[in-house]
Amino acid sequence: MASPRAALPPGLIVRTGKFVWNTMWHTMMSQMAPRSTSGDYTRPQSAFRGRDISPEPHRHYLIVGMSCPWAHRTLITRALKGLQATVDVITVYPSTDEGRWLFDLNQADVPFAECRSLPEFYRRAQSDYVGRATVPVLGDRQTQTIINNESADIIELLNHEFEPFATGPDLYPEALRPTIDQLNEQIYATVNNGVYRCGFAQTQAAYDQAVSELFATLDQLDDRLATQRYLCGAALTLADVRLFTTLIRFDVAYHGIFKCNRRRIADYPHLSGYLADIYQLPGIADTCDIEAVKRDYFGNLFPLNPGGIVPIGPGWEGLKAPHGREQL
């Protein structure tokens, strides 16, 4: 029989472990999530903000990762505008070890054929580029440039600049712009980016602030959606596209990994129906890869989930259930 080993004093193990882990955690978080002095997550600005488009079939492409809510905005807008045969899509995958997006080299039409990763691609498009290599990207095959890498701009460009080929409705109508812009501003700060502010907070105070703003807005939006089908009334707009991509990730990812857990979207009577309603619109379910969302958030945000274990639940059958919102 093996003789029992002398145990290390638990206090020492705990103190050493905490010191090592906290040092590592702050180092990794400062790379992944730049913070203000108060520990609040501060998202870097997008660098490519071009708006010059000459629409032609297959000239432009989007680079997207299926788990990314910002990239998802562009896929939905492309689907709602009927631009699938005009604007191409190239999908990238997160590398678990390298903290960057990778191309699938078997995909025939990667621009700059020999690029393996998105940072290489950004540098091929602009050799002195030093910022983050993020999705989505709107690129131009003809000029071999990145036109824009800010999802808020790209969805406006998809809405307007491809008119000769678009079949879908105007998602940013002139008359509704002030309302859409106002909603976008609040929803971006407290919901779209708000969930990241909860998950990437590096102090309790920063988390408390972000989480209370997040749920205050969700409560307000639930009330708003009690009497109208979409955020601006009977017709879906870009404000809905932007809210939807956060809501669909909420219960499966943000509620757990980002600690956005005062409530689930499933617990909100109107937001839950609204989510199902948009999910069931033609072309939308094809843009949603919920398993990729779970896999990438839980599997790749190492500092938030070092074991990389992906939870089993929750199910998302509710998205396919009747919602009755056509009556509104």
Ligand X SMILES: N[C@@H](CCC(=O)N[C@@H](CS)C(=O)NCC(=O)O)C(=O)O
Cα 303 to Cα 266: distance, rounded to the nearest angstrom: 27
Q: Which of 61, 70, 254, 297 binds ligand X (CB under 6 A)?
A: 70
196 as an active site residue: the answer is: yes
Q: Which of 135, 206, 257, 290 binds ligand X (CB under 6 A)?
A: 135
Q: Which of 29, 53, 136, 293 binds ligand X (CB under 6 A)?
A: 136
In whole angstroms, the minimum distance from the beta carbon of 313 to ligand X comes to 22
Which of 41, 61, 122, 196 is catalytic? The answer is: 196
Query: In whole angstroms, how large is the CA radius of gyration of the chain?
Result: 21
Q: Which amino acid is at 56?
A: E
DSSP for 115-160?
Answer: --BHHHHHHHH-TT--S---S-EEEETTTTEEEE--HHHHHHHHHH
Cα 84 to Cα 110: distance, rounded to the nearest angstrom: 17
* 213 marked ligand binding residue: no
In the bound state with ligand X, the residue whose beta carbon lies nearer, of 214 and 276, is: 214
In the bound state with ligand X, the residue whose beta carbon lies nearer, of 134 and 246, is: 134
In the bound state with ligand X, the residue whose beta carbon lies nearer, of 100 and 224, is: 100
User: Are the beta carbons of 205 and 38 closer than 8 angstroms?
Assistant: yes
Which residues, at least 6 apart from 155, have a Cβ–Cβ distance to it below 8 Å? Answer: 73, 74, 77, 171, 238, 241, 242
Q: Does 253 bind ligand X (CB under 6 A)?
A: no
In whole angstroms, the minimum distance from the beta carbon of 8 to ligand X comes to 38
In whole angstroms, the minimum distance from the beta carbon of 178 to ligand X comes to 22
232 as an active site residue: the answer is: no
* 151 marked ligand binding residue: yes
Q: Which of 77, 86, 91, 151 binds ligand X (CB under 6 A)?
A: 151
User: Are the beta carbons of 301 and 93 closer than 8 angstroms?
Assistant: no
In the bound state with ligand X, the residue whose beta carbon lies nearer, of 66 and 276, is: 66
Q: Does 66 bind ligand X (CB under 6 A)?
A: no
User: Are the beta carbons of 75 and 87 closer than 8 angstroms?
Assistant: no
**What are the E-state strand segments in the chain?**
60-64, 88-94, 101-103, 137-140, 145-148
Q: Which of 29, 33, 40, 46 binds ligand X (CB under 6 A)?
A: 46
* 295 marked ligand binding residue: no
Cα 48 to Cα 146: distance, rounded to the nearest angstrom: 7
Task: Report the relative pairing of strands 101-103 and 137-140 from DSSP bridges.
Answer: unpaired
Which residues, at least 6 apart from 109, have a Cβ–Cβ distance to it below 8 Å? Answer: 61, 88, 90
Write out the binding residues for ligand X, residues 183-212 only, by CB under 6 A: none
The binding track of 94-133 with respect to ligand X, each residue x by CB under 6 A or -, is --------------------------------------xx
Catalytic residues: 68, 196
Task: Give the residues lining the site for ligand X (CB under 6 A).
Answer: 46, 68, 70, 132-136, 150-151
Binding site residue list for glutathione: 101, 132-135, 150-151
